[in-house]
Chains A and B, each alone.
Chain A
Protein backbone atom coordinates (compact mmCIF):
# COMPACT_ATOMS: atom_id res chain seq x y z
CA UNK A 1 0.00 0.00 0.00
CA UNK A 2 1.22 3.48 -0.75
CA UNK A 3 -0.10 4.92 2.52
CA UNK A 4 0.50 4.09 6.12
CA UNK A 5 -1.32 6.94 7.82
CA UNK A 6 -4.48 8.95 7.23
CA UNK A 7 -2.66 12.11 6.14
CA UNK A 8 -0.91 10.20 3.35
CA UNK A 9 -4.25 8.67 2.42
CA UNK A 10 -5.90 12.09 2.06
CA UNK A 11 -2.96 13.47 0.06
CA UNK A 12 -3.10 10.54 -2.38
CA UNK A 13 -6.85 10.99 -2.81
CA UNK A 14 -6.47 14.70 -3.46
CA UNK A 15 -3.58 14.19 -5.87
CA UNK A 16 -5.39 11.55 -7.87
CA UNK A 17 -8.89 13.08 -7.51
CA UNK A 18 -10.40 9.88 -6.16
CA UNK A 19 -12.39 8.88 -3.11
CA UNK A 20 -10.80 6.81 -0.35
CA UNK A 21 -12.87 3.84 -1.53
CA UNK A 22 -11.71 4.16 -5.14
CA UNK A 23 -8.10 4.50 -4.05
CA UNK A 24 -8.35 1.42 -1.85
CA UNK A 25 -9.76 -0.66 -4.72
CA UNK A 26 -6.84 0.12 -7.01
CA UNK A 27 -4.31 -0.29 -4.18
CA UNK A 28 -5.77 -3.67 -3.27
CA UNK A 29 -5.72 -4.83 -6.89
CA UNK A 30 -2.10 -3.70 -7.31
CA UNK A 31 -1.05 -5.26 -4.01
CA UNK A 32 -2.59 -8.66 -4.67
CA UNK A 33 -2.13 -8.84 -8.43
CA UNK A 34 -5.86 -9.41 -8.83
CA UNK A 35 -8.17 -7.57 -11.19
CA UNK A 36 -10.33 -4.69 -9.96
CA UNK A 37 -13.40 -6.81 -10.75
CA UNK A 38 -12.15 -9.69 -8.63
CA UNK A 39 -11.40 -7.43 -5.70
CA UNK A 40 -14.80 -5.73 -5.93
CA UNK A 41 -16.44 -9.14 -6.33
CA UNK A 42 -15.03 -10.39 -3.05
CA UNK A 43 -16.20 -7.28 -1.19
CA UNK A 44 -19.64 -7.56 -2.80
CA UNK A 45 -19.87 -11.14 -1.54
CA UNK A 46 -18.97 -9.91 1.93
CA UNK A 47 -21.69 -7.25 1.77
CA UNK A 48 -24.26 -9.93 0.93
CA UNK A 49 -23.26 -11.84 4.06
CA UNK A 50 -23.58 -8.65 6.12
CA UNK A 51 -27.11 -8.04 4.84
CA UNK A 52 -28.03 -11.65 5.43
CA UNK A 53 -26.86 -11.38 9.06
CA UNK A 54 -28.85 -8.15 9.58
CA UNK A 55 -32.11 -9.64 8.37
CA UNK A 56 -31.62 -12.99 10.02
CA UNK A 57 -30.86 -11.27 13.30
CA UNK A 58 -33.90 -8.99 13.13
CA UNK A 59 -36.31 -11.75 12.24
CA UNK A 60 -35.25 -14.65 14.36
CA UNK A 61 -34.91 -15.16 18.08
CA UNK A 62 -31.23 -15.91 18.08
CA UNK A 63 -30.05 -17.75 21.14
CA UNK A 64 -26.35 -17.64 21.82
CA UNK A 65 -24.93 -20.84 23.26
CA UNK A 66 -24.79 -19.39 26.75
CA UNK A 67 -28.49 -18.51 26.84
CA UNK A 68 -27.54 -15.19 28.47
CA UNK A 69 -28.52 -12.82 25.69
CA UNK A 70 -30.54 -12.81 22.49
CA UNK A 71 -33.67 -11.20 21.08
CA UNK A 72 -32.56 -7.62 21.75
CA UNK A 73 -32.34 -6.72 18.06
CA UNK A 74 -35.90 -7.87 17.54
CA UNK A 75 -36.98 -6.02 20.69
CA UNK A 76 -35.51 -2.72 19.50
CA UNK A 77 -36.83 -3.21 15.97
CA UNK A 78 -40.36 -3.90 17.18
CA UNK A 79 -40.15 -0.90 19.48
CA UNK A 80 -39.07 1.47 16.74
CA UNK A 81 -41.86 0.26 14.45
CA UNK A 82 -44.54 0.74 17.10
CA UNK A 83 -43.38 3.54 19.39
CA UNK A 84 -41.88 6.96 19.32
CA UNK A 85 -38.14 6.59 19.82
CA UNK A 86 -35.81 8.98 21.58
CA UNK A 87 -33.17 8.72 18.89
CA UNK A 88 -35.35 8.97 15.84
CA UNK A 89 -36.11 6.13 13.48
CA UNK A 90 -32.93 6.26 11.40
CA UNK A 91 -30.43 6.02 14.24
CA UNK A 92 -32.63 3.52 16.02
CA UNK A 93 -32.73 1.32 12.91
CA UNK A 94 -28.96 1.30 12.60
CA UNK A 95 -28.79 0.37 16.27
CA UNK A 96 -31.24 -2.52 15.83
CA UNK A 97 -29.32 -3.79 12.80
CA UNK A 98 -26.01 -3.61 14.64
CA UNK A 99 -27.49 -5.59 17.54
CA UNK A 100 -28.82 -8.12 15.04
CA UNK A 101 -25.44 -8.88 13.50
CA UNK A 102 -23.79 -9.08 16.92
CA UNK A 103 -26.43 -11.54 18.08
CA UNK A 104 -25.85 -13.69 15.01
CA UNK A 105 -22.15 -13.63 15.88
CA UNK A 106 -22.76 -14.64 19.49
CA UNK A 107 -24.80 -17.61 18.32
CA UNK A 108 -21.99 -18.87 16.07
CA UNK A 109 -23.68 -17.70 12.90
CA UNK A 110 -21.89 -16.38 9.83
CA UNK A 111 -20.63 -12.79 9.87
CA UNK A 112 -17.89 -10.67 8.36
CA UNK A 113 -15.25 -9.49 10.81
CA UNK A 114 -15.26 -5.66 10.52
CA UNK A 115 -12.56 -5.33 11.74
CA UNK A 116 -13.21 -8.08 14.29
CA UNK A 117 -16.09 -10.38 15.15
CA UNK A 118 -16.63 -8.61 18.48
CA UNK A 119 -17.27 -5.40 16.53
CA UNK A 120 -18.98 -6.95 13.50
CA UNK A 121 -22.34 -5.22 14.00
CA UNK A 122 -21.38 -1.58 13.61
CA UNK A 123 -20.52 -1.36 9.91
CA UNK A 124 -23.46 -3.49 8.71
CA UNK A 125 -25.75 -1.58 11.11
CA UNK A 126 -24.75 1.78 9.67
CA UNK A 127 -24.44 0.59 6.07
CA UNK A 128 -27.63 -1.41 5.66
CA UNK A 129 -29.83 1.14 7.43
CA UNK A 130 -28.30 4.03 5.44
CA UNK A 131 -28.72 2.12 2.18
CA UNK A 132 -32.43 1.67 2.89
CA UNK A 133 -32.83 5.28 3.87
CA UNK A 134 -30.93 6.89 1.00
CA UNK A 135 -31.73 4.30 -1.68
CA UNK A 136 -28.09 3.64 -2.50
CA UNK A 137 -27.01 0.84 -4.82
CA UNK A 138 -25.06 -2.19 -3.63
CA UNK A 139 -22.17 -0.95 -5.75
CA UNK A 140 -22.11 2.29 -3.80
CA UNK A 141 -22.09 0.35 -0.53
CA UNK A 142 -19.22 -1.86 -1.69
CA UNK A 143 -17.18 1.26 -2.46
CA UNK A 144 -18.01 2.41 1.06
CA UNK A 145 -16.64 -0.84 2.47
CA UNK A 146 -13.32 -0.22 0.73
CA UNK A 147 -13.28 3.23 2.29
CA UNK A 148 -13.94 1.68 5.73
CA UNK A 149 -11.24 -0.88 5.00
CA UNK A 150 -8.64 1.77 4.15
CA UNK A 151 -9.33 3.57 7.43
CA UNK A 152 -9.19 0.30 9.35
CA UNK A 153 -5.95 -0.64 7.64
CA UNK A 154 -4.33 2.54 8.98
CA UNK A 155 -5.74 2.07 12.49
CA UNK A 156 -4.75 -1.61 12.67
CA UNK A 157 -1.19 -0.99 11.53
CA UNK A 158 -0.57 2.05 13.72
CA UNK A 159 -2.48 0.92 16.78
CA UNK A 160 -4.60 -2.23 17.17
CA UNK A 161 -8.01 -3.71 16.49
CA UNK A 162 -8.22 -6.54 19.01
CA UNK A 163 -9.60 -6.31 22.52
CA UNK A 164 -6.87 -8.55 23.87
CA UNK A 165 -4.25 -6.06 22.70
CA UNK A 166 -5.90 -2.68 23.17
CA UNK A 167 -9.23 -3.07 24.96
CA UNK A 168 -12.65 -2.45 23.49
CA UNK A 169 -11.55 0.96 22.19
CA UNK A 170 -9.48 -1.03 19.69
CA UNK A 171 -12.37 -3.25 18.58
CA UNK A 172 -15.58 -1.29 18.83
CA UNK A 173 -13.68 2.01 18.63
CA UNK A 174 -11.98 1.09 15.36
CA UNK A 175 -15.26 -0.09 13.86
CA UNK A 176 -16.96 3.18 14.84
CA UNK A 177 -14.15 5.19 13.25
CA UNK A 178 -14.29 3.11 10.08
CA UNK A 179 -18.09 3.36 9.83
CA UNK A 180 -18.05 7.10 10.52
CA UNK A 181 -15.45 7.85 7.86
CA UNK A 182 -17.10 5.60 5.30
CA UNK A 183 -20.53 7.10 5.94
CA UNK A 184 -19.14 10.59 5.30
CA UNK A 185 -17.81 9.39 1.97
CA UNK A 186 -21.00 7.50 1.08
CA UNK A 187 -22.88 10.76 1.64
CA UNK A 188 -20.60 12.70 -0.65
CA UNK A 189 -18.19 14.17 1.89
CA UNK A 190 -14.55 14.76 1.02
CA UNK A 191 -11.71 12.43 2.05
CA UNK A 192 -10.64 15.12 4.49
CA UNK A 193 -14.07 15.24 6.11
CA UNK A 194 -14.10 11.45 6.26
CA UNK A 195 -10.82 11.46 8.14
CA UNK A 196 -12.08 14.12 10.56
CA UNK A 197 -15.02 11.82 11.28
CA UNK A 198 -12.55 9.05 12.13
CA UNK A 199 -10.75 11.23 14.67
CA UNK A 200 -13.99 12.54 16.18
CA UNK A 201 -15.35 9.02 16.52
CA UNK A 202 -12.19 7.48 17.95
CA UNK A 203 -11.89 10.16 20.60
CA UNK A 204 -15.24 9.13 21.95
CA UNK A 205 -14.19 5.56 22.67
CA UNK A 206 -10.67 6.11 24.00
CA UNK A 207 -10.09 4.20 27.19
CA UNK A 208 -12.89 1.72 26.66
CA UNK A 209 -11.88 -1.53 28.33
CA UNK A 210 -12.58 -5.06 27.12
CA UNK A 211 -14.39 -6.88 29.93
CA UNK A 212 -16.55 -9.66 28.50
CA UNK A 213 -18.63 -11.45 31.13
CA UNK A 214 -17.63 -15.10 31.23
CA UNK A 215 -15.18 -14.35 28.42
CA UNK A 216 -18.10 -14.47 25.98
CA UNK A 217 -18.65 -12.02 23.12
CA UNK A 218 -22.06 -11.11 24.54
CA UNK A 219 -22.09 -8.86 27.62
CA UNK A 220 -21.34 -5.99 27.03
CA UNK A 221 -20.17 -6.56 23.43
CA UNK A 222 -23.59 -6.81 21.81
CA UNK A 223 -25.01 -3.57 23.21
CA UNK A 224 -21.72 -1.77 22.56
CA UNK A 225 -22.20 -2.60 18.89
CA UNK A 226 -25.65 -1.03 19.03
CA UNK A 227 -24.30 2.13 20.66
CA UNK A 228 -21.36 2.10 18.25
CA UNK A 229 -23.58 2.36 15.18
CA UNK A 230 -25.27 5.44 16.62
CA UNK A 231 -21.95 7.06 17.54
CA UNK A 232 -20.63 6.48 14.03
CA UNK A 233 -23.62 8.30 12.57
CA UNK A 234 -23.16 11.17 15.03
CA UNK A 235 -19.48 11.51 14.11
CA UNK A 236 -20.34 11.46 10.39
CA UNK A 237 -22.87 14.23 10.92
CA UNK A 238 -20.40 16.35 12.85
CA UNK A 239 -17.81 16.00 10.11
CA UNK A 240 -20.31 16.71 7.33
CA UNK A 241 -21.38 19.80 9.26
CA UNK A 242 -17.79 20.98 9.18
CA UNK A 243 -16.62 19.97 12.64
CA UNK A 244 -12.94 19.11 12.61
CA UNK A 245 -10.92 16.83 14.80
CA UNK A 246 -8.57 19.44 16.27
CA UNK A 247 -6.20 16.69 17.33
CA UNK A 248 -5.32 15.20 13.93
CA UNK A 249 -6.85 11.75 13.48
CA UNK A 250 -3.42 10.12 13.09
CA UNK A 251 -2.49 11.48 16.50
CA UNK A 252 -5.72 10.14 17.98
CA UNK A 253 -4.78 6.71 16.63
CA UNK A 254 -1.40 7.04 18.36
CA UNK A 255 -3.20 7.91 21.58
CA UNK A 256 -5.28 4.77 21.26
CA UNK A 257 -2.04 2.78 21.05
CA UNK A 258 -0.69 4.55 24.12
CA UNK A 259 -3.85 4.09 26.17
CA UNK A 260 -4.30 0.46 25.13
CA UNK A 261 -0.71 -0.42 25.89
CA UNK A 262 -1.05 1.10 29.36
CA UNK A 263 -4.25 -0.81 30.07
CA UNK A 264 -3.85 -3.50 32.72
CA UNK A 265 -4.18 -7.05 31.48
CA UNK A 266 -7.34 -7.60 33.49
CA UNK A 267 -9.08 -5.03 31.30
CA UNK A 268 -7.98 -6.60 28.03
CA UNK A 269 -10.33 -9.44 27.22
CA UNK A 270 -9.18 -11.71 30.01
CA UNK A 271 -12.54 -11.51 31.81
CA UNK A 272 -10.55 -10.82 34.98
CA UNK A 273 -11.78 -7.26 35.50
CA UNK A 274 -14.50 -4.76 34.71
CA UNK A 275 -18.06 -6.00 34.17
CA UNK A 276 -16.82 -9.59 34.11
CA UNK A 277 -15.79 -9.37 37.75
CA UNK A 278 -18.90 -7.69 39.18
CA UNK A 279 -20.87 -9.87 41.61
CA UNK A 280 -23.35 -10.66 38.83
CA UNK A 281 -20.59 -11.22 36.28
CA UNK A 282 -18.91 -13.69 38.59
CA UNK A 283 -22.20 -15.43 39.32
CA UNK A 284 -22.88 -15.80 35.59
CA UNK A 285 -19.41 -17.20 35.03
CA UNK A 286 -19.91 -19.73 37.84
CA UNK A 287 -23.29 -20.78 36.49
CA UNK A 288 -21.99 -21.16 32.95
CA UNK A 289 -18.92 -23.20 33.66
CA UNK A 290 -20.41 -24.89 36.68
CA UNK A 291 -23.20 -26.42 34.63
CA UNK A 292 -20.79 -27.81 32.09
CA UNK A 293 -21.13 -25.15 29.41
CA UNK A 294 -18.11 -25.63 27.27
Chain B
Protein backbone atom coordinates (compact mmCIF):
# COMPACT_ATOMS: atom_id res chain seq x y z
CA UNK B 1 0.00 0.00 0.00
CA UNK B 2 1.42 3.38 -1.00
CA UNK B 3 -0.61 5.20 1.62
CA UNK B 4 -0.12 3.69 5.03
CA UNK B 5 -2.74 5.05 7.37
CA UNK B 6 -5.58 7.47 7.99
CA UNK B 7 -3.26 10.40 8.66
CA UNK B 8 -1.60 10.04 5.28
CA UNK B 9 -5.08 10.87 3.91
CA UNK B 10 -6.41 13.35 6.48
CA UNK B 11 -3.32 15.44 7.04
CA UNK B 12 -0.67 16.54 7.32
CA UNK B 13 -1.21 19.82 9.03
CA UNK B 14 0.63 22.05 6.61
CA UNK B 15 1.26 25.45 5.14
CA UNK B 16 -0.22 25.70 1.61
CA UNK B 17 -0.57 25.81 -1.27
CA UNK B 18 0.14 22.23 -2.42
CA UNK B 19 0.48 19.02 -0.48
CA UNK B 20 2.62 17.49 -3.24
CA UNK B 21 4.69 20.55 -4.01
CA UNK B 22 4.85 22.08 -0.56
CA UNK B 23 4.28 19.56 2.26
CA UNK B 24 5.79 16.64 0.35
CA UNK B 25 8.72 18.85 -0.61
CA UNK B 26 9.31 19.83 3.02
CA UNK B 27 9.47 16.14 3.88
CA UNK B 28 11.84 15.41 1.00
CA UNK B 29 14.15 18.15 2.21
CA UNK B 30 13.95 17.01 5.80
CA UNK B 31 14.59 13.40 4.93
CA UNK B 32 17.63 14.40 2.87
CA UNK B 33 18.95 16.47 5.77
CA UNK B 34 18.65 13.45 8.04
CA UNK B 35 20.46 11.31 5.47
CA UNK B 36 23.30 13.85 5.53
CA UNK B 37 23.17 13.99 9.31
CA UNK B 38 22.76 17.73 9.81
CA UNK B 39 22.39 21.14 8.17
CA UNK B 40 23.98 21.20 4.72
CA UNK B 41 26.50 23.93 3.97
CA UNK B 42 25.65 23.64 0.31
CA UNK B 43 22.50 22.27 -1.29
CA UNK B 44 21.93 21.71 -4.98
CA UNK B 45 18.26 21.09 -5.74
CA UNK B 46 17.26 19.59 -9.10
CA UNK B 47 13.59 19.53 -10.05
CA UNK B 48 12.03 17.14 -12.56
CA UNK B 49 8.59 16.84 -14.19
CA UNK B 50 5.77 18.89 -12.71
CA UNK B 51 8.15 20.06 -9.98
CA UNK B 52 10.30 21.63 -12.69
CA UNK B 53 7.42 23.38 -14.46
CA UNK B 54 5.47 24.68 -11.46
CA UNK B 55 7.84 24.92 -8.50
CA UNK B 56 7.81 28.71 -8.44
CA UNK B 57 4.05 29.03 -8.08
CA UNK B 58 3.88 26.34 -5.41
CA UNK B 59 6.85 27.50 -3.38
CA UNK B 60 8.43 24.06 -3.80
CA UNK B 61 11.88 25.64 -3.60
CA UNK B 62 10.97 27.32 -0.31
CA UNK B 63 9.54 24.05 0.97
CA UNK B 64 12.61 21.95 0.21
CA UNK B 65 14.85 24.55 1.80
CA UNK B 66 12.54 24.63 4.84
CA UNK B 67 12.92 20.87 5.08
CA UNK B 68 16.68 21.18 4.89
CA UNK B 69 16.38 23.60 7.81
CA UNK B 70 14.51 20.78 9.61
CA UNK B 71 11.14 22.59 9.68
CA UNK B 72 7.94 20.57 9.84
CA UNK B 73 5.17 20.83 7.21
CA UNK B 74 3.11 23.37 9.19
CA UNK B 75 5.94 25.68 10.17
CA UNK B 76 4.94 29.27 9.43
CA UNK B 77 8.58 30.11 8.66
CA UNK B 78 8.40 28.12 5.38
CA UNK B 79 7.61 31.23 3.35
CA UNK B 80 10.78 32.92 4.62
CA UNK B 81 12.95 29.86 4.03
CA UNK B 82 15.32 31.61 1.59
CA UNK B 83 16.25 34.26 4.13
CA UNK B 84 16.45 31.73 6.95
CA UNK B 85 18.79 29.55 4.90
CA UNK B 86 21.05 32.53 4.31
CA UNK B 87 21.06 33.30 8.04
CA UNK B 88 21.89 29.67 8.81
CA UNK B 89 24.81 29.77 6.38
CA UNK B 90 23.36 27.36 3.83
CA UNK B 91 24.11 28.03 0.16
CA UNK B 92 21.39 26.93 -2.24
CA UNK B 93 21.43 26.30 -5.98
CA UNK B 94 18.26 25.39 -7.88
CA UNK B 95 17.92 24.00 -11.37
CA UNK B 96 15.54 21.97 -13.50
CA UNK B 97 16.31 18.94 -15.61
CA UNK B 98 14.58 16.32 -17.74
CA UNK B 99 14.77 12.59 -17.23
CA UNK B 100 12.37 10.05 -18.71
CA UNK B 101 10.46 7.53 -16.67
CA UNK B 102 10.40 9.43 -13.41
CA UNK B 103 7.43 10.17 -11.17
CA UNK B 104 6.03 13.60 -12.20
CA UNK B 105 7.04 15.17 -8.89
CA UNK B 106 10.66 14.23 -8.39
CA UNK B 107 13.59 16.11 -6.90
CA UNK B 108 17.25 15.25 -6.46
CA UNK B 109 19.13 16.90 -3.62
CA UNK B 110 22.89 17.00 -3.60
CA UNK B 111 23.97 18.03 -0.13
CA UNK B 112 27.39 18.84 1.25
CA UNK B 113 28.56 19.35 4.81
CA UNK B 114 32.29 19.33 5.54
CA UNK B 115 33.66 16.27 3.80
CA UNK B 116 30.24 14.58 3.76
CA UNK B 117 28.21 14.46 0.57
CA UNK B 118 24.92 12.71 -0.14
CA UNK B 119 22.67 12.54 -3.19
CA UNK B 120 19.04 11.86 -2.36
CA UNK B 121 16.28 11.44 -4.94
CA UNK B 122 12.66 11.31 -3.89
CA UNK B 123 9.14 11.69 -5.24
CA UNK B 124 6.15 13.45 -3.80
CA UNK B 125 3.30 11.03 -4.39
CA UNK B 126 0.34 13.09 -3.20
CA UNK B 127 -1.23 14.34 0.00
CA UNK B 128 2.18 15.21 1.42
CA UNK B 129 3.42 11.63 1.21
CA UNK B 130 6.83 10.86 -0.23
CA UNK B 131 8.91 7.98 -1.50
CA UNK B 132 12.70 8.11 -1.44
CA UNK B 133 13.90 6.22 -4.51
CA UNK B 134 17.66 6.54 -4.40
CA UNK B 135 20.48 7.49 -2.06
CA UNK B 136 23.89 8.00 -3.61
CA UNK B 137 24.02 5.15 -6.13
CA UNK B 138 21.73 2.84 -4.22
CA UNK B 139 18.13 2.12 -5.24
CA UNK B 140 15.85 2.30 -2.24
CA UNK B 141 12.15 2.62 -1.56
CA UNK B 142 10.94 4.03 1.72
CA UNK B 143 8.37 6.58 2.81
CA UNK B 144 9.83 8.12 5.97
CA UNK B 145 6.47 7.54 7.65
CA UNK B 146 8.08 5.16 10.13
CA UNK B 147 11.35 5.55 12.02
CA UNK B 148 13.88 4.46 9.41
CA UNK B 149 17.49 3.36 9.80
CA UNK B 150 19.92 3.66 6.91
CA UNK B 151 22.92 1.44 7.42
CA UNK B 152 25.82 1.96 5.02
CA UNK B 153 28.07 -1.07 5.12
CA UNK B 154 30.18 -3.55 3.20
CA UNK B 155 28.50 -6.54 1.61
CA UNK B 156 29.65 -9.40 3.83
CA UNK B 157 28.24 -12.77 4.81
CA UNK B 158 26.36 -12.67 8.08
CA UNK B 159 26.24 -8.90 8.48
CA UNK B 160 22.45 -8.73 8.02
CA UNK B 161 21.92 -11.36 10.68
CA UNK B 162 24.10 -9.33 13.05
CA UNK B 163 21.96 -6.25 12.40
CA UNK B 164 18.63 -7.98 12.83
CA UNK B 165 19.96 -9.69 15.95
CA UNK B 166 20.41 -6.25 17.50
CA UNK B 167 16.79 -5.45 16.68
CA UNK B 168 15.77 -8.70 18.31
CA UNK B 169 17.63 -7.90 21.49
CA UNK B 170 16.26 -4.35 21.50
CA UNK B 171 12.78 -5.90 21.28
CA UNK B 172 12.10 -3.75 18.21
CA UNK B 173 9.94 -4.88 15.31
CA UNK B 174 11.10 -4.55 11.72
CA UNK B 175 8.22 -3.60 9.41
CA UNK B 176 10.17 -3.43 6.17
CA UNK B 177 13.75 -4.05 5.14
CA UNK B 178 15.69 -3.89 1.90
CA UNK B 179 19.29 -4.21 0.85
CA UNK B 180 20.97 -2.86 -2.26
CA UNK B 181 24.61 -3.50 -3.04
CA UNK B 182 26.80 -1.98 -5.67
CA UNK B 183 28.57 -5.28 -6.28
CA UNK B 184 29.32 -8.56 -4.58
CA UNK B 185 31.55 -7.81 -1.59
CA UNK B 186 31.24 -4.10 -2.46
CA UNK B 187 29.37 -1.31 -0.70
CA UNK B 188 25.80 -1.90 0.41
CA UNK B 189 22.95 0.06 1.90
CA UNK B 190 20.40 -1.53 4.17
CA UNK B 191 17.17 0.31 4.92
CA UNK B 192 15.15 -0.80 7.93
CA UNK B 193 11.76 0.64 8.83
CA UNK B 194 10.76 -0.18 12.36
CA UNK B 195 7.66 0.34 14.45
CA UNK B 196 9.57 2.28 17.08
CA UNK B 197 12.66 4.47 17.29
CA UNK B 198 15.60 2.31 18.27
CA UNK B 199 17.17 3.67 21.48
CA UNK B 200 20.63 5.22 21.02
CA UNK B 201 22.49 2.42 22.77
CA UNK B 202 21.21 -0.09 20.23
CA UNK B 203 22.01 2.19 17.31
CA UNK B 204 25.54 2.48 18.74
CA UNK B 205 25.81 -1.29 18.64
CA UNK B 206 24.95 -1.29 14.93
CA UNK B 207 27.50 1.46 14.32
CA UNK B 208 30.13 -0.68 16.04
CA UNK B 209 29.50 -3.76 13.90
CA UNK B 210 32.45 -4.70 11.71
CA UNK B 211 32.11 -3.35 8.14
CA UNK B 212 29.40 -0.82 9.05
CA UNK B 213 30.52 2.60 7.76
CA UNK B 214 27.76 4.85 9.03
CA UNK B 215 24.21 4.78 10.29
CA UNK B 216 21.57 7.46 9.78
CA UNK B 217 18.20 7.76 11.49
CA UNK B 218 15.21 9.30 9.75
CA UNK B 219 12.29 10.15 11.96
CA UNK B 220 10.20 13.02 10.69
CA UNK B 221 7.86 13.27 13.65
CA UNK B 222 10.75 14.15 15.96
CA UNK B 223 11.86 17.75 16.20
CA UNK B 224 15.64 17.48 16.26
CA UNK B 225 18.40 15.73 14.34
CA UNK B 226 18.89 12.16 15.42
CA UNK B 227 22.08 11.38 13.58
| Distance (whole angstroms) from the CB of A31 to the closest CB of chain B | 6
A116: nearest chain-B partner, CB-CB:
B19
Provide the residues of chain A in CB contact with B54, threshold 8 Å: 212, 215-216, 269-271
Cα A46 to Cα B6 with chains together (Å): 12
**Interface size, B (range):** 35 or more
Provide the residues of chain A in CB contact with B10, threshold 8 Å: 43, 46, 112-115, 123, 145-146, 148-149, 152
B61: nearest chain-A partner, CB-CB:
A294
Provide the residues of chain B in CB contact with A152, threshold 8 Å: 9-10
B58–A162 contact, CB under 8 A?
no
A106–B5 contact, CB under 8 A?
no
B22 interface residue per 8 A CB criterion: yes
Cα A162 to Cα B188 with chains together (Å): 33
A108–B78 contact, CB under 8 A?
yes
Provide the residues of chain B in CB contact with A106, threshold 8 Å: 16-17
Tell which of A31, A112, A216 touches B12, judged by Cβ atoms closer than 8 Å.
A112
A261 interface residue per 8 A CB criterion: no
Provide the residues of chain A in CB contact with B57, threshold 8 Å: 66, 212, 214-217, 271, 288
A116–B126 contact, CB under 8 A?
yes
CB proximity to A under 8 Å, residues B190-206: 195-196
A153–B3 contact, CB under 8 A?
yes
Provide the residues of chain B in CB contact with A113, threshold 8 Å: 10-12, 14, 19, 23, 127-128
Cα A196 to Cα B216 with chains together (Å): 46
Tell which of A66, A149, A160, A271 touches B9, judged by Cβ atoms closer than 8 Å.
A149
Q: Mark A252-269, 1 if CB is under 8 A from B, else 0.
A: 000000000000010011
A37 interface residue per 8 A CB criterion: no
Given A157-B2, A294-B56, A162 and B17 contact (CB-CB distance below 8 Å): no
CB proximity to B under 8 Å, residues A210-268: 212, 214-218, 265, 268
Provide the residues of chain A in CB contact with B3, threshold 8 Å: 153, 156-157, 161
B5–A153 contact, CB under 8 A?
yes
Provide the residues of chain A in CB contact with B113, threshold 8 Å: none
B53 interface residue per 8 A CB criterion: yes
| Distance (whole angstroms) from the CB of B70 to the closest CB of chain A | 18
Tell which of B13, B15, B50 touches A108, judged by Cβ atoms closer than 8 Å.
B15
A111 interface residue per 8 A CB criterion: yes
A215–B17 contact, CB under 8 A?
no
B74 interface residue per 8 A CB criterion: yes
Q: Mark B1-43, 1 if CB is under 8 A from A, else 0.
A: 1111111111111111111101100000000000000000000
Cα A59 to Cα B58 with chains together (Å): 24
Cα A157 to Cα B78 with chains together (Å): 29
CB proximity to A under 8 Å, residues B65-89: 74, 76, 78-79
A108–B17 contact, CB under 8 A?
yes
Given A113-B128, A150-B6, A162-B127, A105 and B16 contact (CB-CB distance below 8 Å): yes
B105 interface residue per 8 A CB criterion: yes
Specify which of B20, B61, B74 lies most central, judged by the most chain A CB atoms within 10 Å of its CB: B20
A24 interface residue per 8 A CB criterion: yes
Cα A113 to Cα B10 with chains together (Å): 6
A108–B104 contact, CB under 8 A?
no
A120 interface residue per 8 A CB criterion: yes
A87 interface residue per 8 A CB criterion: no
A110–B6 contact, CB under 8 A?
no
A86 interface residue per 8 A CB criterion: no
Known: A104-B16, A116-B127, A164-B105. 9 other contacts (CB 8 A): A108-B78, A110-B14, A111-B15, A116-B126, A156-B9, A160-B126, A162-B124, A270-B54, A270-B104
Residues of A near any B CB (own CB < 8 A): 1, 4, 24, 27-28, 31-33, 39, 42-43, 45-46, 49, 64-66, 104-118, 120, 123, 145-146, 148-150, 152-153, 156-157, 160-165, 170, 178, 212, 214-218, 265, 268-272, 288-289, 293-294
Closest 10 CB pairs of A and B: A215-B54, A162-B126, A105-B16, A152-B9, A149-B6, A215-B57, A217-B17, A113-B19, A117-B19, A216-B57
